[in-house]
Amino acid sequence: MNSPLVPNYARVPLAFERGEGSWLVTRRGERYLDFGSGIAVNNLGHAHPRLVEALKAQAEKLWHVSNIFEIPEGERLAQRLADHSFADQVMFCNSGAEANEAAIKMARRYHYLKGQRERYRILTFENAFHGRTLGTIAAGGQAKYLEGFGPKAEGFDQVPFGDHEAMRAAVTAQTAAIMIEPIQGEGGVRAVPHVCLRGLRELCDETGMLLIYDEVQTGFGRTGKLFGYEWAGVAPDIMSVAKALGGGFPVGAVLATADAATGLTAGSHGTTFGGNPLAMAVGNAVLDVMLEPGFLDQVSRSGLLLRQRLAALGDRFPDIIGEIRGTALMTGLRLNVPNADFVAATRAQHLLCIPAGDNVVRLYPPLTISEADLLEGVQRIEAACIALQDNMPATAKAGASA
Ligand SMILES: *Cc1c(COP(=O)(O)O)cnc(C)c1O
């Protein structure tokens, strides 16, 4: 009510004092099972000892020097990201929106430097989410995020998700790049079929457009691969990442092929904090854990177990759970009750999850979650479903099952 904070968030009246793996604990000692991971950020859970150690060790040595100097920890992290992706080069920044801004700037300037000054338009998809800067709300194209913020930044064209004809028709000689989330996150955990990604790649190769993946949410193990695009085996030219790269420490990055990266020549783009030694130390520690043999396989196994148990719940509560979406621990439930009601009902069971578009709720537990905690989470979801069922008007129950 009288918070000194700007009211741009309708906050849940819950404040956590500490986190332990998959659990969040309030000041009064109430424990909540975290199936949100700070919206796909705390992929290694809370207070992971390896991350805490890396941050503390770096904090005692050096925090910040500016990008006018070499930052060896950043060179190392960039090399490792390149070694484990399609990319040759990496630029660090501080958030997902900033990574997307840099990706857009890189794509535009790539064509500019080739003498194609008119080629600056970016093609995106309906219900996309690319961030909240003036550029990225134009890229995302959602009216609810654009409203009241003045003229929409020029140079973005949007087509319906999955409409190939509309997309081919929207491509002109001015189109610089296609930008897409391999699985839409905020949009409702909606996966792009692999064959569509392949089609986009071919279209880009035919026309000289660049393919940009926004892997801010799908990145860093959430889908059981380090990056979501690996499932399709279709590489982009540019890719933005952020969220789980720092496991909770703010950091983002743009990954690019050597060719695409030529767009950002010396002096053309920059950031004060991006890639500072603290962020780089944590990013390297995140990779240390995720690249250990078996880590990603375990994520896939956990995802399979969760999906099986959710499918059983879906059979029992068809009036509540409509559809299970996603890959591995990037799980979405499309609901037959308002997703806000579902989120509130699970919170009453001390389980945290996150609403998304298309009446979906996202279940994003830490990738490190134990089988026992995962099953505990399913039990809490079951309890929430029972409570929701009990509260349904008899007519709605009869209507939904008729
Ligand atoms: C969260 C998110 C962003 C924005 O990231 P910020 O760090 O909030 O700027 C962009 N794209 C996708 C796919 C996201 O999930």
Going by CATH, does the domain composed of 16-34+294-401 fall within 2.60.40.10?
no
Separation of 132 CA from ligand 1 center, angstroms?
8
Q: Looking at 156, 161, 243, 342, which residue is catalytic?
A: 243
Instruction: Assess whether the C-beta atom of 128 lies below 6 angstroms from ligand 1.
Output: no
Ligand 1 probe mutation, 130, 215, 227, 364, most atoms within 8 A of CB: 130
Q: In this structure, are residues 153 and 186 in contact, taking their beta carbons and an 8 Å threshold?
A: no
Instruction: Assess whether the C-beta atom of 101 lies below 6 angstroms from ligand 1.
Output: no
CA distance 240 to 371: 31
Helix (H, G, I), strand (E, B) or coil at 129: coil
Task: Specify whether 243 is catalytic.
Answer: yes
**Which residue ranges make up each domain of the chain?**
16-34+294-401, 49-290
- pTM for the model stands at 0.97
Residues in the chain, pLDDT under 50: 398-402
Residue 395's pLDDT is 60
Determine the CATH number of domain 49-290. Answer: 3.40.640.10
**How many of the other CB atoms lie within 10 Å of CB of 22?**
24
Q: Looking at 129, 156, 249, 317, which residue is catalytic?
A: 129
Radius of gyration of the chain (CA): 21
Residue 399's pLDDT is 44
Task: Specify whether 61 is catalytic.
Answer: no
Residue 396's pLDDT is 58
| Beta strands across the sheet bearing 23-26 | 16-20, 23-26, 31-34, 351-352
Ligand 1 probe mutation, 101, 129, 132, most atoms within 8 A of CB: 129
